[in-house]
């Protein structure tokens, strides 16, 4: 279908049904409402504009199409017009979803399902058998409504719709096999989409094994479709290649949540390869690379960046985040030049990319760059919230949680810059947002996803650390307990194992707080260390600890060392008599002899050999730097080693005596300007020796 672009023609065509109805001309009305050619043409225009992200225009075309199909259905009562009307509602519902109008999308999908279920009830079993495409359309309607419900956070209802879609499509497959009819690649792809979408919702519900099974089904189906089309020398459509890439992305996200970051990055690599290949294919054929697919590629770069960052590959992660941000900003400009709306979901994606890049800067202690990115993200998300409110649209729960996470991350950066007040303010904002979201979901009887519960727990834990830094032990212990109360049922009841490192860290912080000298008397009566030991015992009985990811095992070992070595919290480091070699190793030193000894000492020390309280980011960075710098040969530093003996003699004895004697001898012919210059040069030399 050629896309009409002339605005005058577009207006005249879209207003044709209304003009015919108002004209009172029966002949014109018969031509417009009694001829399916207009309806098909309008539907084609709506689809074309939707693919180009012209959502407002697409919605108007679909609305005009619905009027025409409704007239045809009223006049004839034929089932085909009822099916086409349902498809039109489903198409407009997809447009509303892309615009972020999830309630309107659900209403349209309800209409589509109601029409098709009514049509199904009207037909005999023999008639249904002859029209398998209608059964496929009904399955698609359930799947599309599931997508809209998922975006509203109604996960249980979304899963029920995906179940219906998969049941109908599998039933259709069996029916076609019995009739010895072909199960078309398009319908196979629809089933793959349903599996992929259901897997996404199951993952958000914490049902990771079921979600992984669905993702595997989706990927396997698409591989089979590709193989089938290649063997028949048929075209592999760009849409299906993009869907295949998204299936890899979804599985990669799930593996990342399970701590399997290497496997996740491999899936992201597959997705990026597929989407870049798709882009090149479209460009070579002089076709448009749809904006939605550009945003999909940006999301994959962002997700791969998260996996790389978790593996400590900071440079590669930053490169991926830059790619994601560049793609999304370019897409924003492209839509603006075409006078098209930048969809709210894509604005939120750009904000998330800034947050993730901020995390990469933060991991490298580049706090100024991290704060700049967090500021950008928060500004974008607050602007998005206001935009939705002005349009009387709902602020999706997932985006509320994203803003809360941005506040938590910025709070962490403020904390490392010793901006304690700003850190507390950001943590408070995050907790307020997430607690409000928690109540909102409960009032609507919606599921509170495990990931979001974990995010709230992390906000409490970070704020607890801030209270501990300020010596407010009661507040710190209260926040740590809040985090533990949130995470414990997630792990042991819902079996959401990604919370293991966070829960372990919460117990470790709780034990450190319990050993603070300022611990109130009412908390001294509680054996917090025993609570941590009980947790480790329960964890060992619940999972095979040795099979956990390496990063999670490190958190468990840290807790065990805290319980065994009895280290003190950071706040009392100066009051503790640590061994001399620990003080020397982490002290800032300028003396070359001592610095050389410090380097030799670092070759025999690992960070695990230090007490927990000394393992700050600065200490770890200094130890790594000392290890990377080999000690100098002895003959180079013996001279500097004796410097504490000869340098004071030089400065305070020989130089003053020599200067005084020279001034006395030549006092009658002395040039005071030269003396001043000489003293300045001597002082500069001393400064260079001492400090440089």
Q: Which residue has the tokens 């727990």?
A: 457
The pLDDT of residue 241 is 87
How confident is the model over 39-48, as a mean pLDDT? 72
Beta carbons of 158 and 150 less than 8 angstroms apart = yes
- Residue 517's Cβ-count burial label (10 Å; 0-12, 13-18, 19+) is exposed
How confident is the model over 202-207, as a mean pLDDT? 84
* DSSP state, residue 468: H
Q: Which residue has the tokens 């479709």?
A: 225
Regarding predicted confidence, which is higher, 550 or 88?
88
How confident is the model over 529-538, as a mean pLDDT? 89
Q: How far is CA 288 from CA 285, 294, 334, 516, in A?
A: 9, 11, 12, 63
The pLDDT of residue 573 is 34
What element of type H or E holds 175? helix 155-178
The pLDDT of residue 5 is 47
Q: pLDDT tens digits, residue range 620-678?
A: 666 666 667 666 554 444 455 555 655 666 666 666 676 666 666 555 555 666 666 76
The pLDDT of residue 259 is 77
Average model confidence (pLDDT) for the chain? 79
How confident is the model over 550-562, as a mean pLDDT? 84
Q: Which residue has the tokens 């249904």?
A: 128
Q: What is the pTM of this model?
A: 0.61
Phi and psi of 470, rounded to 5°? -90, 0
- Residue 63's Cβ-count burial label (10 Å; 0-12, 13-18, 19+) is middle
Where do the domains of the chain lie? Answer: 580-638, 645-691
Q: Where are the beta strands (DSSP E) in 604-650?
A: none
CA-to-CA distance for 458 and 467, rounded, in angstroms? Answer: 14
Which three-class secondary structure string do you get for 638-654?
A: HHHHCHHHHHHHHHHHH
CA-to-CA distance for 519 and 516, rounded, in angstroms? Answer: 5
The pLDDT of residue 260 is 85
Beta carbons of 598 and 589 less than 8 angstroms apart = yes
Q: pLDDT tens digits, residue range 231-288?
A: 877 777 888 888 889 889 999 988 887 778 889 999 999 999 999 998 998 888 888 8
Query: Measuring CA to CA, which residue among 317, 287, 289 is closest to residue 303?
Result: 317
Residue 572 has pLDDT above 60, yes or no: no
Cβ contacts of 31-40, under 8 Å, gap ≥ 24: 32/68, 33/68, 33/71, 33/72, 33/75, 34/71, 34/72, 34/75, 36/68, 36/72, 36/81, 38/68, 39/65, 39/68, 39/69, 39/72, 39/84
How confident is the model over 315-320, as a mean pLDDT? 92
Query: Measuring CA to CA, which residue among 393, 381, 387, 390 is closest to residue 341?
Result: 387
Angle at Cα 205 formed by Cα 199 and Cα 206, nearest 5°?
Answer: 90
* Both tokens assigned to 500: 């293991």
Question: Percent of the chain, pLDDT > 70?
Answer: 75
* Per-residue pLDDT band at 10 (split at 50, 70, 90): very low
The separation between the first and the last C-alpha atoms of the chain, rounded to the nearest angstrom, is 74
């Amino acid at each position: 279908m050629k896309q009409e672009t002339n605005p005058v023609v577009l207006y005249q065509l879209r207003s044709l049904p209304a003009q015919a109805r108002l004209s009172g001309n029966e002949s014109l009305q018969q031509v417009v409402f009694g001829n399916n050619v207009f309806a098909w043409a309008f539907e084609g225009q709506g689809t074309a504009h939707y693919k180009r992200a012209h959502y407002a225009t697409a919605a108007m075309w679909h609305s005009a199409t619905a009027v025409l199909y409704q007239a045809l259905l009223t006049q004839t009562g034929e089932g085909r017009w009822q099916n086409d009307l349902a498809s039109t509602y489903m198409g407009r519902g997809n447009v509303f979803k892309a615009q972020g109008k999830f309630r309107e999308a659900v209403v349209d999908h309800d209409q589509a399902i109601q029409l098709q279920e009514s049509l199904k009830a009207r037909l005999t079993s023999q008639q249904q058998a002859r029209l398998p495409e209608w059964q496929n359309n009904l399955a698609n309607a359930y799947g599309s409504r599931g997508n809209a419900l998922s975006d509203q956070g109604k996960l249980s209802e979304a899963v029920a719709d995906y179940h219906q879609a998969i049941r109908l499509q599998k039933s259709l497959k069996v029916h076609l096999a019995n009739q010895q009819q072909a199960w078309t690649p398009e319908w196979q792809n629809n089933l793959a989409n349903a599996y992929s979408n259901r897997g996404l919702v199951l993952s958000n519900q914490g049902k990771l094994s079921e979600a992984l099974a669905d993702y595997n089904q989706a990927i396997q189906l698409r591989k089979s479709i590709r193989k089938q089309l290649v063997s028949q020398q048929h075209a592999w459509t760009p849409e299906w290649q993009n869907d295949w890439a998204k299936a890899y992305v979804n599985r990669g996200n799930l593996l990342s949540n399970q701590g399997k970051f290497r496997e996740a990055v491999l899936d992201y690599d597959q997705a990026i390869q597929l989407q870049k290949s798709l882009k090149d294919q479209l460009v070579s054929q002089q076709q448009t690379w749809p904006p939605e697919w550009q945003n999909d590629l940006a999301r994959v770069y962002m997700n791969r960046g998260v996996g790389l960052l978790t593996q400590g590959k900071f440079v590669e992660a930053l490169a991926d985040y830059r790619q994601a941000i560049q793609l999304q900003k370019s897409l924003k400009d492209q839509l603006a030049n075409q006078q098209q709306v930048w969809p709210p979901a894509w604005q939120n994606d750009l904000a998330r990319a800034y947050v993730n890049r901020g995390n990469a800067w933060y991991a490298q202690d580049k706090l100024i760059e991290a704060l700049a990115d967090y500021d950008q993200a928060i500004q974008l998300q607050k602007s998005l919230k206001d935009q939705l409110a002005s349009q009387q649209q709902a602020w999706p729960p997932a985006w509320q949680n994203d803003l809360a996470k941005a506040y938590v991350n910025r709070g962490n950066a403020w904390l490392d810059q010793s901006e304690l007040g700003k850190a507390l303010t950001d943590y408070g904002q995050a907790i307020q947002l997430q607690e409000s979201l928690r109540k909102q979901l409960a009032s609507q009887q919606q599921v509170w996803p495990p990931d979001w519960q974990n995010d709230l727990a992390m906000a409490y834990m970070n704020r607890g650390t801030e209270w501990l830094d300020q010596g407010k032990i009661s507040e710190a212990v209260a926040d740590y307990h809040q985090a533990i109360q949130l995470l414990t049922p997630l792990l042991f009841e819902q079996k959401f194992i990604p919370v293991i490192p966070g829960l372990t860290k919460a117990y470790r912080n709780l034990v450190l707080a319990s050993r603070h000298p300022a611990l109130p008397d009412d908390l001294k009566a509680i054996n917090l260390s025993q609570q941590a030991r009980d947790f480790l015992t329960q964890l060992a009985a619940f999972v095979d600890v040795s099979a956990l990811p390496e990063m999670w095992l490190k958190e468990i070992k840290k807790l065990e060392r805290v319980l065994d070595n009895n280290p003190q919290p950071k706040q009392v480091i100066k009051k503790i008599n640590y061994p001399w070699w620990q003080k020397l190793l982490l002290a800032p030193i300028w003396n070359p002899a001592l610095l050389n000894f410090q380097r030799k000492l670092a070759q025999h020390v690992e960070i695990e050999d230090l007490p927990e309280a000394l393992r700050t980011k600065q200490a770890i960075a200094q130890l790594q730097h000392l290890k990377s710098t080999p000690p100098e040969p002895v003959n180079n530093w013996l001279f500097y080693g004796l410097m504490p003996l000869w340098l004071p003699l030089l400065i305070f004895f020989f130089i003053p005596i020599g200067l005084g004697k020279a001034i006395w001898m030549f006092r009658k012919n002395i040039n005071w300007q030269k003396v001043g210059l000489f003293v300045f040069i001597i002082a500069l030399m001393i400064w260079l020796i001492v400090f440089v």
